[in-house]
Amino acid sequence: MKKMIEVKPMVAAWAGMLGAALFVAVFSLEGLLRPGYNALSSYVSALSLGPRGWVQVTNFLVFGLLFFIFTRGLAGEFRSGKASRGGINLLTVISFCFFFSGPFVMDPGGTPINQVSVHGTIHGILGAIAFMLMPISIFVFLRRFRTDPNWAALRGWSLGLGSLSAAGLVVLSVVTKSPQIQTSFAGWFGLIQRTLIIPFMAWVFVFAFSWMQRIKSGR
Protein backbone atom coordinates (compact mmCIF):
# COMPACT_ATOMS: atom_id res chain seq x y z
CA MET A 1 0.00 0.00 0.00
CA LYS A 2 2.84 2.35 0.84
CA LYS A 3 4.37 1.90 -2.63
CA MET A 4 1.05 2.77 -4.25
CA ILE A 5 1.13 6.30 -2.84
CA GLU A 6 4.82 7.01 -3.33
CA VAL A 7 5.45 9.86 -5.76
CA LYS A 8 8.67 10.78 -7.53
CA PRO A 9 10.14 14.00 -6.10
CA MET A 10 10.23 15.89 -9.41
CA VAL A 11 6.61 14.97 -10.16
CA ALA A 12 5.57 16.09 -6.68
CA ALA A 13 7.46 19.37 -6.96
CA TRP A 14 5.80 20.15 -10.30
CA ALA A 15 2.41 19.25 -8.82
CA GLY A 16 2.94 21.70 -5.96
CA MET A 17 3.99 24.54 -8.24
CA LEU A 18 1.28 23.98 -10.85
CA GLY A 19 -1.44 23.34 -8.30
CA ALA A 20 -0.84 26.55 -6.35
CA ALA A 21 -0.33 28.74 -9.43
CA LEU A 22 -3.33 27.36 -11.31
CA PHE A 23 -5.67 27.61 -8.33
CA VAL A 24 -4.99 31.33 -7.83
CA ALA A 25 -4.89 32.07 -11.56
CA VAL A 26 -8.22 30.34 -12.24
CA PHE A 27 -10.21 31.95 -9.42
CA SER A 28 -8.67 35.36 -10.17
CA LEU A 29 -9.43 35.19 -13.90
CA GLU A 30 -12.88 33.71 -13.36
CA GLY A 31 -13.61 36.45 -10.84
CA LEU A 32 -12.76 39.09 -13.44
CA LEU A 33 -14.82 37.45 -16.17
CA ARG A 34 -17.87 36.46 -14.10
CA PRO A 35 -20.67 39.03 -14.57
CA GLY A 36 -21.79 40.53 -11.26
CA TYR A 37 -18.97 38.96 -9.23
CA ASN A 38 -16.95 41.28 -6.99
CA ALA A 39 -13.66 39.82 -5.74
CA LEU A 40 -13.45 42.41 -2.97
CA SER A 41 -16.70 41.36 -1.32
CA SER A 42 -17.31 37.79 -2.52
CA TYR A 43 -15.66 34.60 -1.30
CA VAL A 44 -13.70 32.48 -3.74
CA SER A 45 -16.19 29.64 -3.20
CA ALA A 46 -19.02 31.84 -4.51
CA LEU A 47 -17.59 31.18 -7.96
CA SER A 48 -18.90 27.61 -7.59
CA LEU A 49 -22.46 28.92 -7.88
CA GLY A 50 -24.40 29.52 -11.05
CA PRO A 51 -24.15 28.12 -14.59
CA ARG A 52 -20.37 28.58 -14.68
CA GLY A 53 -19.88 27.16 -11.22
CA TRP A 54 -18.28 24.05 -12.71
CA VAL A 55 -15.12 26.11 -13.36
CA GLN A 56 -14.42 26.70 -9.67
CA VAL A 57 -15.65 23.24 -8.71
CA THR A 58 -13.07 21.80 -11.11
CA ASN A 59 -10.49 24.23 -9.74
CA PHE A 60 -11.02 22.83 -6.24
CA LEU A 61 -10.77 19.25 -7.49
CA VAL A 62 -7.62 19.81 -9.54
CA PHE A 63 -5.83 21.69 -6.79
CA GLY A 64 -6.81 19.14 -4.17
CA LEU A 65 -5.45 16.32 -6.32
CA LEU A 66 -2.20 18.10 -7.26
CA PHE A 67 -1.63 19.18 -3.69
CA PHE A 68 -2.13 15.62 -2.48
CA ILE A 69 0.51 14.47 -4.98
CA PHE A 70 2.80 17.17 -3.62
CA THR A 71 2.29 15.99 -0.04
CA ARG A 72 2.97 12.36 -0.97
CA GLY A 73 6.27 13.39 -2.49
CA LEU A 74 7.16 15.43 0.57
CA ALA A 75 6.45 12.41 2.75
CA GLY A 76 9.34 10.69 1.02
CA GLU A 77 11.58 13.73 1.41
CA PHE A 78 10.81 14.36 5.09
CA ARG A 79 11.10 10.85 6.48
CA SER A 80 12.30 11.89 9.92
CA GLY A 81 12.79 14.94 12.09
CA LYS A 82 10.62 18.02 12.57
CA ALA A 83 7.57 18.28 10.29
CA SER A 84 8.03 14.72 9.04
CA ARG A 85 4.74 13.69 10.60
CA GLY A 86 2.86 16.74 11.80
CA GLY A 87 3.66 18.89 8.78
CA ILE A 88 2.89 16.19 6.23
CA ASN A 89 -0.35 15.25 7.98
CA LEU A 90 -1.49 18.88 8.06
CA LEU A 91 -0.86 19.35 4.34
CA THR A 92 -2.64 16.08 3.57
CA VAL A 93 -5.74 17.18 5.48
CA ILE A 94 -5.68 20.50 3.62
CA SER A 95 -5.53 18.67 0.28
CA PHE A 96 -8.60 16.61 1.24
CA CYS A 97 -10.49 19.74 2.36
CA PHE A 98 -9.87 21.52 -0.93
CA PHE A 99 -10.72 18.47 -3.03
CA PHE A 100 -14.05 17.81 -1.33
CA SER A 101 -14.91 21.53 -1.25
CA GLY A 102 -15.50 21.10 -4.99
CA PRO A 103 -18.55 18.81 -5.05
CA PHE A 104 -19.89 20.13 -1.74
CA VAL A 105 -20.80 23.57 -3.04
CA MET A 106 -21.42 26.47 -0.67
CA ASP A 107 -24.88 27.98 -0.23
CA PRO A 108 -25.53 31.44 -1.71
CA GLY A 109 -24.59 34.31 0.58
CA GLY A 110 -27.36 35.40 2.93
CA THR A 111 -28.99 31.96 3.11
CA PRO A 112 -31.01 31.79 6.40
CA ILE A 113 -29.62 29.43 9.03
CA ASN A 114 -32.70 27.21 8.92
CA GLN A 115 -32.33 26.82 5.13
CA VAL A 116 -28.66 25.92 5.00
CA SER A 117 -28.15 22.76 2.95
CA VAL A 118 -26.11 19.69 3.87
CA HIS A 119 -23.60 20.34 1.10
CA GLY A 120 -23.31 23.98 2.19
CA THR A 121 -22.67 22.93 5.78
CA ILE A 122 -20.00 20.43 4.72
CA HIS A 123 -18.36 23.06 2.53
CA GLY A 124 -18.25 25.47 5.45
CA ILE A 125 -16.69 22.89 7.75
CA LEU A 126 -14.09 21.88 5.17
CA GLY A 127 -13.24 25.51 4.52
CA ALA A 128 -12.89 26.32 8.22
CA ILE A 129 -10.54 23.36 8.74
CA ALA A 130 -8.40 24.24 5.71
CA PHE A 131 -8.17 27.93 6.63
CA MET A 132 -7.16 27.15 10.20
CA LEU A 133 -4.50 24.63 9.15
CA MET A 134 -2.90 26.66 6.36
CA PRO A 135 -0.89 29.13 8.48
CA ILE A 136 -0.30 26.47 11.13
CA SER A 137 1.29 24.14 8.57
CA ILE A 138 3.63 26.90 7.39
CA PHE A 139 4.92 27.50 10.91
CA VAL A 140 5.27 23.77 11.55
CA PHE A 141 7.60 23.54 8.56
CA LEU A 142 9.35 26.74 9.62
CA ARG A 143 10.52 24.91 12.74
CA ARG A 144 12.24 22.42 10.44
CA PHE A 145 13.66 25.07 8.13
CA ARG A 146 15.24 26.94 11.03
CA THR A 147 17.34 23.94 12.03
CA ASP A 148 17.93 22.26 8.66
CA PRO A 149 20.59 24.02 6.52
CA ASN A 150 19.23 22.32 3.41
CA TRP A 151 16.07 24.41 3.71
CA ALA A 152 17.58 27.64 5.07
CA ALA A 153 16.44 29.60 2.00
CA LEU A 154 12.80 29.08 3.00
CA ARG A 155 13.08 30.56 6.50
CA GLY A 156 12.31 34.13 5.51
CA TRP A 157 9.65 33.14 3.01
CA SER A 158 7.90 30.95 5.57
CA LEU A 159 7.99 33.58 8.30
CA GLY A 160 6.69 36.34 6.02
CA LEU A 161 4.01 34.41 4.15
CA GLY A 162 2.99 32.49 7.26
CA SER A 163 2.50 35.76 9.14
CA LEU A 164 0.39 37.21 6.31
CA SER A 165 -1.75 34.08 6.13
CA ALA A 166 -2.18 34.01 9.91
CA ALA A 167 -3.18 37.68 9.94
CA GLY A 168 -5.77 36.96 7.25
CA LEU A 169 -7.14 34.10 9.32
CA VAL A 170 -7.43 36.23 12.45
CA VAL A 171 -9.16 39.11 10.66
CA LEU A 172 -11.53 36.77 8.81
CA SER A 173 -12.42 35.00 12.06
CA VAL A 174 -13.11 38.30 13.83
CA VAL A 175 -15.24 39.90 11.11
CA THR A 176 -17.42 36.80 10.69
CA LYS A 177 -18.22 36.34 14.38
CA SER A 178 -20.35 39.37 15.17
CA PRO A 179 -23.35 40.44 13.02
CA GLN A 180 -22.47 44.10 13.62
CA ILE A 181 -18.88 43.62 12.48
CA GLN A 182 -20.07 41.56 9.51
CA THR A 183 -22.20 44.47 8.34
CA SER A 184 -19.27 46.88 8.54
CA PHE A 185 -16.89 44.61 6.63
CA ALA A 186 -19.37 42.95 4.26
CA GLY A 187 -17.82 44.72 1.29
CA TRP A 188 -14.38 43.33 2.08
CA PHE A 189 -14.95 39.64 2.83
CA GLY A 190 -13.44 38.53 -0.47
CA LEU A 191 -10.31 40.60 -0.02
CA ILE A 192 -9.83 39.44 3.57
CA GLN A 193 -10.22 35.79 2.56
CA ARG A 194 -7.67 36.23 -0.20
CA THR A 195 -5.11 37.62 2.27
CA LEU A 196 -5.32 34.18 3.90
CA ILE A 197 -5.38 32.03 0.76
CA ILE A 198 -2.91 33.73 -1.58
CA PRO A 199 0.07 33.87 0.85
CA PHE A 200 -0.40 30.16 1.54
CA MET A 201 -0.47 29.36 -2.17
CA ALA A 202 2.62 31.51 -2.67
CA TRP A 203 4.36 29.56 0.09
CA VAL A 204 3.44 26.25 -1.53
CA PHE A 205 4.80 27.49 -4.86
CA VAL A 206 8.07 28.72 -3.33
CA PHE A 207 8.40 25.51 -1.29
CA ALA A 208 7.89 23.34 -4.38
CA PHE A 209 10.20 25.51 -6.52
CA SER A 210 12.97 25.40 -3.91
CA TRP A 211 12.59 21.63 -3.65
CA MET A 212 12.82 21.31 -7.42
CA GLN A 213 16.06 23.27 -7.44
CA ARG A 214 17.49 20.96 -4.79
CA ILE A 215 16.47 17.91 -6.83
CA LYS A 216 18.14 19.31 -9.96
CA SER A 217 21.34 20.09 -8.06
CA GLY A 218 21.38 16.61 -6.51
CA ARG A 219 21.37 17.90 -2.94
Q: What is the pLDDT of residue 2?
A: 44
- At 205, which helix (H) or strand (E)? helix 189-217
- Structural domain of 42: 3-214
Q: Could you tell me if residue 157 is inside a domain?
A: yes
What CA–CA distance (Å, rounded) separates 54 from 218?
Answer: 41
What CA–CA distance (Å, rounded) separates 70 from 104?
Answer: 23
- Are 102 and 95 in contact, with CB atoms under 8 Å apart? no
Is residue 1 scored above 50 in pLDDT? no
Q: What is the pLDDT of residue 183?
A: 74
Overall average pLDDT of the 126-148 stretch: 96
Exposed, middle or buried by CB within 10 Å (0-12, 13-18, 19+), for 196? buried
Percentage with pLDDT > 70 across the chain: 97
Q: Could you tell me if residue 198 is inside a domain?
A: yes
The pTM score is 0.93
Across the chain, mean pLDDT equals: 92
Q: Could you tell me if residue 219 is inside a domain?
A: no
Overall average pLDDT of the 189-207 stretch: 97
Weakest-pLDDT range from 124-128, 161-165, 177-181? 177-181
How many distinct structural domains can be found in the chain? Answer: 1
Q: Could you tell me if residue 112 is inside a domain?
A: yes
Q: What is the pLDDT of residue 80?
A: 87
pLDDT one-digit tens code per residue, 173-193: 988 887 777 777 778 999 999
What CA–CA distance (Å, rounded) separates 51 from 47?
Answer: 10
pLDDT one-digit tens code per residue, 39-71: 999 999 999 999 999 999 999 999 999 999 999
Is residue 4 scored above 60 in pLDDT? no
Q: Could you tell me if residue 69 is inside a domain?
A: yes
Q: Could you tell me if residue 190 is inside a domain?
A: yes
Q: Could you tell me if residue 183 is inside a domain?
A: yes
Q: What is the pLDDT of residue 84?
A: 86
What CA–CA distance (Å, rounded) separates 185 from 173?
Answer: 12
Instruction: Tell me 124's DSSP state.
Output: H
